[in-house]
């Protein structure tokens, strides 16, 4: 079992006589040379550390070109980058009569994480997808429906959380997944009751959680020291009446238009409960229409004092720290409440409206505890989940022909023989792991630290990760079309220094580990390379060079310093 461990090592930059590999995508970095602030990226390690948190890892070009740039300015550029959307291309192909495979939404998201210019937005989409969870695992062939949902998250990633709650509620994918699609009002004659699934999960998972919270994320307690529950079964039953009468667009509750699976749901008043609806101290009067009832309910949930600390803690976990401090949570939650954040360079992010996500994510990434050059302890680390590790490798080595639809291992990466995780493929509405998970039998567990990502770490998954990465690193992944060499890494720079073990190790340390390679890993890579001589003047020389590079990278991406960022 992996555990948070101290990382050491480091090394000099790669030789300047060889041109480093080009960037693997991402926004054009801001110009260097501006006045220094607390968010200035002063060296390659700080650039790499920041992009590990804010994007999907850095490339060699990022690490050299962004020295002296301001992280806050990078955020501004990312906030203004064109939005990557997923539905338009699939929709146009579908409407032209093309068959859309049931995996195409997930392959499109893999591609976007690696190549899209709006990398912060797509990182936010990934984070939100693990809070407002839907999964295609048991939904059948729904690529258009899933793409519509993905676009809700992408469109609103830097908007307001209240708007996300509205659009998620009216999305066919969420209604399908949490079973309130065509949810009818109760019928006392037959005993039919409104479906309670969404009412329960929108409270438990999307807004307020199970217990009342202080602004620092700690639980409020009663006079006996017990946590105070946020809702009861009566609250679920009252709220369930709100989400009745929602069905596909089409003018008829039972039918749907051809584009209904990727259009906003419609409300059907005759199927909506006209009864009084009471929950969480709120009463919606009898006879209130469906749209007004939903608006009132979402407003009440959104304005609950739990929302800011509940959501802030989870977003921090997805970007920067697996076990954030109460002080960090409170600082971010306060920004969520105020809707405005002032960066170290005095730039202001946010509209000033409660729930502003641009302000919130700025507060997370520019918090005093994670500013460039700030020393962080192991307890302040983040376990990088397998998806983030793979995407970083793909970007770092500028993979050619990025087309996940041609890669079996990416289409079905949730298999435990692979990496036990894939985008929009969580095993349940509770995601791949719970935000409060404390891993038994680990150093983090002994210290009582939450480490959600450890919930998908076990012997099988660890082996699967190594095999998965090794296949891609060696350019030997199983393709749908074997005649098309997708995800081909560019190792031209690494091959140019492959006969110098120290130079290669130093380069990989800087490129992938922000200079934190463990001494033991450095020693082991060196010993392995000593056993892999290059047979010059033979037909095997190029194969030997490639093998040395591949094994060095494989050992690097399995180093704890690659899996743990701090």
- Domain boundary (236, 271, 302) is at 302
Same domain? For 397 and 258 the reply is no
151 domain residue, yes or no:
no
139-162 residue pLDDT tens = 878 999 999 999 999 999 999 999
CB neighbours of residue 182 within 10 Å: 19
Domain end point (choices 271, 302, 333): 302
In a domain, 236, yes or no: yes
Domain boundary among 268, 302, 336: 302
Question: Which of 75, 34, 20, 30 minimizes the C-alpha distance to 53?
Answer: 75
Query: Can you tell me whether residue 314 is helix, strand or coil?
Result: helix
CA distances from residue 515 to 46, 57, 65, 365, 510 in whole angstroms, order as listed? 10, 14, 18, 21, 5
User: What residue ranges in 10-138 does DSSP mark as E strands?
Assistant: none
Q: Please check the confidence at residue 9 and state whether its pLDDT lies above 50.
A: no
CB atoms within 10 A of CB 9: 19
Please tell me whether residue 160 adopts helix, strand or coil conformation: strand
Cα 74 to Cα 80: distance, rounded to the nearest angstrom: 10
Query: Looking at the domain assignment, is residue 90 inside a domain?
Result: no
pLDDT for the residue 379? 82
Structure tokens at 500: 């110098």
Of the listed ranges 1-15, 296-310, 353-367, 462-476, the least confidently predicted one is 1-15
**CB neighbours of residue 224 within 10 Å:** 5
Q: For helices 290-302 and 161-169, what crossing angle results, to 10°?
A: 140
Cβ proximity of 383 and 108 under 8 Å: no
> Does one domain contain both 408 and 537?
yes
**What average pLDDT score do residues 233-255 get?**
96
188 DSSP assignment: T
What confidence category does residue 31 fall into, taking pLDDT thresholds of 50, 70 and 90? low
Looking at the domain assignment, is residue 207 inside a domain?
A: yes
For the chain, give percent helix, strand, coil, nearest 5: 45, 5, 50
**Residue 424 and residue 279 share a domain:** no
Count Cβ neighbours within 10 Å for each residue of 79-103 and write b for 16 or more, e otherwise: bebeebbbbeebbeebeeeeebeeb
396 and 536 housed in the same domain: yes
Q: Which of 202, 86, 89 is nearest to 155 (CA)?
A: 86
The confidence band for 33, taking pLDDT boundaries of 50, 70 and 90, is low
Count of other CB atoms within 10 angstroms of residue 29? 21
Please report the pLDDT score of residue 191 as a whole number. 93
What is the tally of structural domains in the chain? 2
Identify whether residues 296 and 406 lie together within a single domain.
Answer: no
Does residue 511 belong to any structural domain of this protein? yes
pLDDT at 21 > cutoff 50: no
* Residues 286 and 394 both lie in one domain: no
Does the pLDDT value for residue 427 go beyond 90? yes
Question: Looking at residue 461, what is its pLDDT?
Answer: 82
Residue 174, domain member (yes or no)? no
483-497 residue pLDDT tens: 999 999 999 999 999
Q: Does residue 493 sit within a domain?
A: yes
Residue 390 and residue 289 in one domain: no
Neighbour tally for 111: CB within 10 Å: 18
> What is the number of other CB atoms lying within 10 angstroms of the CB of residue 295?
16
The pLDDT assigned to 25 comes to 41
Domain containing 288 equals 197-302
On whether residue 440 sits in a domain, the answer given is yes
Per-residue pLDDT band for 543 (boundaries 50, 70, 90) equals very high
Sequence-distant (6+) residues with CB within 8 A of 28 are 77
């Amino acid at each position: 079992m992996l555990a948070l461990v101290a990382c050491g090592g480091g090394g000099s930059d790669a030789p300047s006589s060889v041109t480093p590999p080009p960037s693997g995508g991402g926004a054009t970095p801001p110009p260097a040379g501006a006045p220094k602030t607390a968010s200035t990226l002063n060296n390659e390690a700080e650039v790499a550390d920041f992009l590990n948190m804010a994007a999907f890892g850095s490339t060699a070009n990022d690490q050299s070109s962004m020295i002296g740039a301001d992280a806050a300015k990078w955020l501004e550029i990312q906030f203004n980058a064109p939005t990557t959307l997923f539905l338009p291309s699939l929709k146009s192909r579908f409407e032209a009569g093309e068959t859309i495979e049931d995996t195409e939404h997930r392959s499109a998201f893999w591609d976007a994480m690696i190549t899209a210019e709006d990398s912060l937005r797509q990182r936010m989409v990934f984070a939100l997808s693990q809070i407002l969870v839907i999964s295609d695992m048991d939904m059948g062939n729904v690529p258009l429906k899933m793409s519509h949902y993905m676009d809700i998250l992408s469109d609103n990633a830097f908007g307001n959380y209240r708007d996300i709650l509205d659009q998620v509620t009216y999305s066919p994918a969420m209604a399908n997944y949490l079973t309130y699609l065509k949810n009818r009002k109760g019928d006392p004659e037959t005993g039919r009751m409104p479906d309670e699934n969404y009412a329960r999960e929108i409270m438990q998972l999307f807004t307020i959680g199970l217990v009342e919270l202080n602004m620092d994320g700690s639980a409020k307690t009663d006079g006996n020291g017990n946590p105070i529950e946020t809702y009861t079964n009566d609250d679920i039953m009252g709220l369930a009446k709100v989400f009745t009468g929602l069905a596909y667009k089409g003018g008829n509750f039972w039918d749907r238009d051809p584009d209904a699976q990727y259009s906003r749901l419609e409300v059907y008043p005759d199927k909506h409960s006209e009864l009084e609806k009471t929950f969480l101290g709120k009463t919606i009067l009898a006879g209130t229409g469906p749209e007004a009832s939903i608006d009132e309910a979402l407003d009440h949930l959104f304005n609950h004092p739990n929302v800011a600390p509940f959501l802030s803690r989870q977003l921090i976990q997805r970007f920067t720290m697996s076990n954030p401090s109460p002080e960090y949570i409170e600082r971010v939650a306060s920004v969520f409440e105020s809707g405005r954040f002032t960066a170290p360079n005095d730039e202001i992010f946010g509209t000033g409206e409660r729930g502003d996500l641009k302000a919130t994510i700025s507060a997370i990434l520019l918090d005093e505890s994670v500013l460039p050059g700030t020393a962080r302890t192991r307890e302040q680390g983040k376990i990088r989940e397998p998806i983030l590790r793979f995407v970083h490798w793909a970007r770092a080595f500028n993979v050619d022909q990025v087309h996940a639809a041609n890669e079996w291992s990416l289409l079905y990466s949730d298999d435990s023989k692979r990496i036990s995780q894939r985008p929009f493929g969580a095993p349940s509405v509770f995601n791949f792991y719970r935000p409060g998970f404390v891993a038994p039998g680990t150093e983090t567990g002994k210290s009582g630290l939450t480490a959600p990502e450890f919930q998908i770490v076990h012997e099988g998954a660890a082996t699967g990760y190594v095999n998965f990465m090794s296949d891609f690193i060696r350019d030997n992944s199983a393709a749908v079309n074997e005649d098309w060499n997708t995800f081909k890494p560019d190792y031209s720079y690494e091959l140019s220094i492959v006969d110098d073990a120290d130079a290669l190790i130093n380069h990989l340390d800087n490129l992938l580990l922000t200079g934190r390679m463990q001494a033991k890993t450095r020693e082991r890579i060196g010993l392995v390379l000593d056993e892999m001589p290059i047979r010059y003047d033979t037909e095997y020389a190029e194969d030997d060079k490639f093998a040395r590079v591949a094994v060095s990278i494989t050992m690097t991406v399995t180093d704890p310093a690659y899996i743990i960022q701090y």
